[in-house]
Amino acid sequence: MEECKICNMYDLSQTIAAEVFEGKTYPWEVLPEIGGFIKRLGATLDPEKFEKRGEDIWVAKSATVFDSAYLHGPLIIDENAEIRQCAFIRGNAIVGKDCVVGNSTELKNVILFNHVQVPHYNYVGDSILGYFSHMGAGSITSNVKSDKTLVVVKDKTEEIETGLKKFGAMLGNHVEVGCNSVLNPGTVICQNTNVYPLSPVRGVIPADSIYKTGGVIVRKN
C-alpha cells in the first residue's frame, strides 16, 4: 500500500503537527497519540501568537471563534482558522492554519492540515485530513464498525490490520468529498482524488482518481 504511506499522502510542512508523524509509516498510526502530543506541543507555543483558553486549549490570536462554538481540550487552533457558529470540538483536535470548521460541524480526535474545510454539518472523528482537503455539506466519517470489530484497511490486493476500534478516514492532500457522502471505517482517499456526492466509500481509493456513483473509480486525465 505504497500510496497510503504518510510520505505519499501528506505535506508535513503544512501542519503544526509534523513531529507526531515522525517514525510512523501509515497515518492512522498517529491516532492514539494525538491528545498527548497536543498537550506537549501546546506548552511550547508562543504566547505572543496563542492564548490559552482553559485546560489544554490553545487558540491562535488571529483565529476567529464564534461565541456559540464549543471547545474542549486537548485542542490547538492555529493561525487564521475560523470556527463558526455551533461548531462542536470534543477534544484531541488540531485545526490547522486557515481552516474552516463550519456550523454544526463536530470534530473528535483529528488532525486538520492547513487550509482544510469542513464547513457545513460534518462529523469528522478519528481522522486525518490533508492540506487543502474539503468535505462537502453533510459528508461524514463513520469511525466505528457496526460489529465493533477492529478496523482493517483494504485495497484490491492487500490488507493491513490497524489494531484500532475507532478509525474514520485518512484524506490526502487536495481531496474533495462530495455532499452527503459517508466515509466508512478504514477509508483511505489518496491525494488529488474527488468523490461524487452521496457516495458510500470504503477501502483505499487511489490517488488522482474520481470515485463515481456505484463505486466506479476512474483515473483523472
Domain containing 70 — which CATH number? 2.160.10.10
Residue 131 DSSP symbol? T
Sign, Cα dihedral of 180, 177, 158, 31? negative
What tens digit of pLDDT does each residue of 107-144 get? 999 999 999 999 999 999 999 999 999 999 999 999 99
* Cα of 20 vs its chain's centroid, Å: 14
Which residue range(s) make up the domain with 71? 2-219
CB 135 within 8 A of CB 115: no
Structural domains of the chain, count: 1
Residues 165-202: tens digit of each pLDDT = 999 999 999 999 999 999 999 999 999 999 999 999 99
Q: pLDDT digit string (tens) for 69-88? A: 999 999 999 999 999 999 99
